[in-house]
Structure 1
Amino acid sequence: MPSLAVRLRTGPEQVHGQVQVKVQEQAQAQVPEGPAPAGPQEQAERMVSANAPVFHPSRKEQGALPSTLPTPLPLPTPLPSSMPPHQPMPLGDAIVSTPLAQRLIDWPLLLGGLALPEASRQLLNSMVGLRSLRQGAAIYRHGQAPTHLYAVCQGAAGLGRNRRGRADVLMQSFQLRRTVQEGHWLDLHTAWLGCTHELDACALTTPTLIMEWPIHLARPWLTAQPDVVMALMREMAAQVHIFNTDLHDLLSKNALCRVAGWLMRRAGPHTRFQMDERKRDVAAQLAVSAETFSRMMRQLEQRGLVQVDGYDILLLDRIALIRLARDH
């Protein structure tokens, strides 16, 4: 009987202990191995830490840490493609960004109204780069071998000659021959001829946004794009037409007719525009002096054809200007 009493007193405790052990084993079996899942805040911190720059010491610096280690930012730095529409591009080197190109490049305008399929447009945007320049910054220089096709997406660019060459970094001695507004190509023929650029190109406004299309990417893609090739040929023909018209005007028209023709070309479909060029540069394009150009503008204003307020010009009678421009 004593032994039975001992067994009765100790029996429930042993059973309780066995049940408790089984419960703990089951609870441990239900908990997955590894760290607990991170919450949203912890996941964001891990993303930032993963994107933070890592210091890799050279052989000379093995065992030594830098004096200041980069600290992770609270949020990742946004890419240029995520910039808000009102924020301008940073000035300087070209940026290759498909979303940025999709927002800033008007391909139908550059290709004479050609509507590209979405896949072709996306591929084009992935091939090109965008460069934002200050006024006077060089786009390319004469004598330089062409590596890109260039187009103006915003602002204005000028074609001419820099008398001091590469020594004039800001093109202060630049003599303008032709202005290229946004939505137009700078030089479409040089790249296909295999020769060097005949003129310098520089930005006329701040900022001027230039699209750069590498030739080594354009050539193979265009071999399978006959519609785009035809559009580029039409744009090239339009440039040749402008050159021939300017030459004809210089040889056969007086200064007043040339100024009227320049006003119509510069205004395009608009009745008001602002001059991006200096008056002496426009005068050089028209083969007149700056004083003669100012005198011709005053004559047109006295006739009631234009209204001039500094560099802001309003066309009051487009029909009369067209007739004057066509007069020989």
Structure 2
Amino acid sequence: MDTHTTSGDVNARPMRPLRSRRLSSGALPAPAAGGAAFWSAVLGAPALSAEIVAALQELAQVRELPAGSLLVSTREPARELCLLARGDAALGSASPDGTFQPERSVQGPGWLDASSAWLGGNPAQDAVALSDVQVVMLPRADLQTLLQQHPDLGRRMVVTLARQVQSLTLATHDLMHKDAEGRFAAWLLQRCASEAASDGSITVSLNERKRDIASQLAITPETLSRLLRQLSRKGLIFVSGYTVKVLDVAALRALAGD
């Protein structure tokens, strides 16, 4: 279950862009291709107008970074909104000695930090790449001008921030009111994004090490191993290497209290 890309062993270091460029009015580089589809994924449906998509593509800056890169730092003022277009990252606390304590993971496409730049301060969490990633930066000043020109985009940003607040509130509730098994069940359900197979099962890829997943759930790695065995014995999941096949989504949802 342990993978070779892990936040626990990475050395926190300044973001080192391998490639940084303006986007064309067409599509984001693969696999975040599709322009309008990408922005709908991170800003919600319905699709934005072609004019707004083209404007976002124009101001967006793409950076491709290797696993272990520090993507967002609590020690630097935030001047840009930060999106993970491709790859896996973790949010948590990076210490000066290079160790990193993960608190939650993000899979692209998704927001790494949509709020700090608006507040004019430092981010509340560090973000570290767990795999090679593609990051999209939106300079706050440029985006603010764009929001004034397109009120619909401003409304979409408000909804985006509201969803993040709701997600964090639910995560806090789970941590305080659900037992370890319920929290892990909810964690697995959040990652059941792929289509169900013909037998109704859904495969979840594990892109983090056991101890990093356990840290997010506020349990020990030993407890996580025990939970995997318990859910396997109950027939809810099947574990094979770096993947977990969810065999009974309904039962897992009931266990999570959803």
In which range does the TM-score fall when normalised by the shorter chain? 0.7 to 0.9
Structure 1 residue runs of 5 or longer lacking an equivalent are: 1-90
- Give me the whole-angstrom Cα distance separating, in 1, the residues matched to 2:178 and 2:50: 46
- Give me the whole-angstrom Cα distance separating, in 1, the residues matched to 2:155 and 2:51: 19
The residue that corresponds to 2:166 in the other structure is 241
With the length of structure 2 as denominator, give the TM-score of the two structures.
0.84
- Cα displacement string for residues 293-312 of structure 1 (whole angstroms, at most 9, x for unaligned residues): 11101110111101111211
SS in 2 for 1:143: coil
Which amino acid in structure 2 is aligned with residue 203 of structure 1? A
- Give me the whole-angstrom Cα distance separating, in 2, the residues matched to 1:181 and 1:324: 24
- TM-superposed deviation, 1:268: 3.2
Is structure 2 residue 113 aligned with structure 1 residue 187?
A: yes
The residue that corresponds to 2:232 in the other structure is 301
Is structure 2 residue 28 aligned with structure 1 residue 101?
A: yes
Equivalenced residues, count: 230
SS in 2 for 1:228: helix
The 5-angstrom pairing of residues 135-284 of structure 1 reads: 135-163=67-95, 165=96, 167-168=97-98, 173-205=99-131, 207-268=132-193, 270=195, 271-284=202-215
The 5-angstrom pairing of residues 83-98 of structure 1 reads: 92-98=18-24
Residues 118 and 140, structure 2, Cα contact 8 Å, conserved in 1: no
- Give me the whole-angstrom Cα distance separating, in 2, the residues matched to 1:264 and 1:212: 29
The residue that corresponds to 1:286 in the other structure is 217
- Give me the whole-angstrom Cα distance separating, in 1, the residues matched to 2:27 and 2:246: 35
- TM-superposed deviation, 1:141: 0.8
SS in 2 for 1:210: strand
- Give me the whole-angstrom Cα distance separating, in 2, the residues matched to 1:269 and 1:244: 25
- Cα displacement string for residues 264-316 of structure 1 (whole angstroms, at most 9, x for unaligned residues): 01223541121111111110111000110111011101111011112111110
Residues 131 and 211, structure 1, Cα contact 8 Å, conserved in 2: yes
The residue that corresponds to 1:7 in the other structure is none
Cα-Cα RMSD: 1.7
SS in 2 for 1:114: coil
SS in 2 for 1:321: helix
Residues 114 and 231, structure 1, Cα contact 8 Å, conserved in 2: no
| Larger strand percent | 2
- TM-superposed deviation, 1:161: 0.5
- Give me the whole-angstrom Cα distance separating, in 2, the residues matched to 1:144 and 1:197: 8
Which amino acid in structure 2 is aligned with residue 321 of structure 1? L
Residues 156 and 204, structure 1, Cα contact 8 Å, conserved in 2: yes
- Give me the whole-angstrom Cα distance separating, in 2, the residues matched to 1:159 and 1:316: 29
- TM-superposed deviation, 1:143: 2.7
With the length of structure 1 as denominator, give the TM-score of the two structures.
0.67
- Give me the whole-angstrom Cα distance separating, in 1, the residues matched to 2:41 and 2:238: 29
Which amino acid in structure 2 is aligned with residue 113 of structure 1? A
- Cα displacement string for residues 89-123 of structure 1 (whole angstroms, at most 9, x for unaligned residues): xx614222314637635111111023122222122
Residues 109 and 183, structure 1, Cα contact 8 Å, conserved in 2: yes
- Give me the whole-angstrom Cα distance separating, in 2, the residues matched to 1:248 and 1:120: 36
